[in-house]
Structures are given as C-alpha cells and as structure tokens.
Amino acid sequence: MTNTPMLLHFAEDLTQASGIALAAGMNLAAIARHRFPDGELKLRLPSALPPRVVLLRTLDNPDEKLVELLLVARTARTLGAQHLTLVAPYLAYMRQDMAFQPGEVVSQKVVGQFLADLFDAVITVDPHLHRVATLAEAVPVAQATVLSGAPLLADLIASHLPQALLVGPDEESAQWIAQAAARHGFDHAVCHKIRYGDRDVQIALPDIRVQGRCVVLLDDVASSGHTLAAAARLLLSAGAASVDVAVTHALFAGDALQVIKDAGVGRVWSTDCITHPSNAVSMAEHIARAFH
C-alpha cells in the first residue's frame, strides 16, 4: 500500500471526485453501496487504506448520508486510515444554531460534534452560518477549512456581464456579495428581507439605481427559491433590463427552479458543490489546493 493519500467517493460523485483527485495528486477509490430490501445499507471500502484518507460527500439530502459517514469513517480507521478528512462541499444542518423555543434541538451543535468525533479535518464551501463566526465553532475539528464559491462565480459573471450590478437577496448574503464585487469592481447592494415562513418572505430593494441595468442575484444557497423570486420580481418592476441568478449551492428543493423562472429570472448559474443542471463552475481545483 502506497502512502499517497486516497480520496474515497460514492458512484454518483465520480465526476467531482476525479477532478479533485487529479488536481490534488491523490489516488481515487469508489465505495460500493448496496441497499437491503428493508432499507439498510451495506458499504464496502478498499481492503487496505493509506494513512491519509479523504472522503468526499456533499450533504444535500443529508439524513442517510450522515449514516454513511458514520459507517465509512469508523471502518476506515480499522483499515489503516490515521488521518481522515471530510470534504463536504455543502454542509447540512448549519442554520439551526440556537434554540428559539424550549426543547428545540440545536442541530448545528449536534451534527457538528458528530462530524468532529469522526473526522480530523473538514473542508466545506460557503457554510450557512448565522450567529457563529467560524466553522471550527460549529464543527470542532483540528482543521476546519472554509472555501468560497463567490470569487469563481464572480469570474463567470464578469465573462458574461462585465457591467453587472450584483444584488444580494437578503442581509445574510452581504459577505458573498462583497467578495464577488471586490474581485471585479462590480457595483453591488443588498436587499432587506423579512421572513414569515419557509415560503413566505417580504423583500425591500436597496437604494440603488436598477433602471436599464443587468442584475445578477448572488447568494450562497437557493432552497425554496421564494426569496430569489421575490427579489427578481421587484428588480424587474423597477426597470432592470435582466435578472440572472448565481448561487454556490443549488439545492432548488421541489419546484424552486420553476418558481424563480416564473418570476422572470433568465440564466441560473451554480457551482458543482451540489450536482444540478445549473452547474457552471467547478470547485475541484479550489478544493484540491486546500489540502496543501
């Protein structure tokens, strides 16, 4: 067994895993996955592992994947892995960082500690953190690395719309908007949002001229699509020449993509953190550099 680090992946993640392994100089190996009739999983890793092992698993639709992480990480230790890194381009359960009602589960703390018990390092992209300043506070591992898709999305936007106005759909998007805008000198602003429910939001446009301008709504994640749709309708009503969308994480739950298209959004771009037809930017080389 060579000491070259190995990247483990599941079959559906082959394309992204191949790009990361090639850029990082790692060996690549697939995890065999079988489902029993009762729904339980049977997984099989290579019979011998090098000291350093990386597991790629983005955590959209996370519940079953968290069980996979438990099974794979514990088994990898018995097969020779001494240092385990989780690459989770999308990291689930980060939004619930406090209890708003008595008895409410603070899932960030629970899942964060669960991952810290399994892995020595975690690499993720644009985690959805609110009242927590660093990833290490949410996932207390020795090495907690945060990457961002905003600069790469900014490069893509600049190639299509060099004079674009970048708009964040809510205040939480301000950090990504600032990163992307600084990279190419884009004009930028952020909307004000009041959320009444998962699909019930009220948006107020920022005080900036949008008449006749090509606007790109930029955010870390698109889930229900209702916030982006509300912002797009307002921008078009205010005279925007066009509204496109760029997001790091293309969750697009249910009919979310249709919701934003119906609101008048033109192009939709995303990184490949979550596999989706809108993927236009690869994070592979960016992730690979995080290992060095």
Identify the active-site residue in 42, 109, 193, 261. Answer: 193
Active site residue 193: yes
Indicate the SS3 state at residue 288.
helix
Can you say how many angstroms the Cα of residue 226 is from the centroid of all Cα atoms in its chain?
18
Helices (H) and strands (E) in the chain, counts: 9, 16
Select from 131, 125, 60, 160 the least CA-distant residue to 283.
125
Return all residues near 124 (Cβ < 8 A) that are at least 6 apart. 87, 88, 89, 90, 91, 135, 145, 146, 147
Q: Which residues pair with 168 in a beta bridge?
A: 190
**What tokens appear for 36 in the block?**
């029993």
Q: In the chain, at which residue ranges do the beta strands (DSSP E only) sit?
A: 6-9, 27-30, 32-35, 41-44, 52-56, 83-88, 121-125, 143-147, 165-168, 187-190, 192-197, 200-204, 214-222, 242-250, 268-271, 279-281
Question: Please, what's the b/e burial string for 81-105 (b: 16 or more CB within 10 A of its CB; e: otherwise)?
Answer: beebbbbbbbbbbbebbeeeeeeee
- Catalytic positions are 193
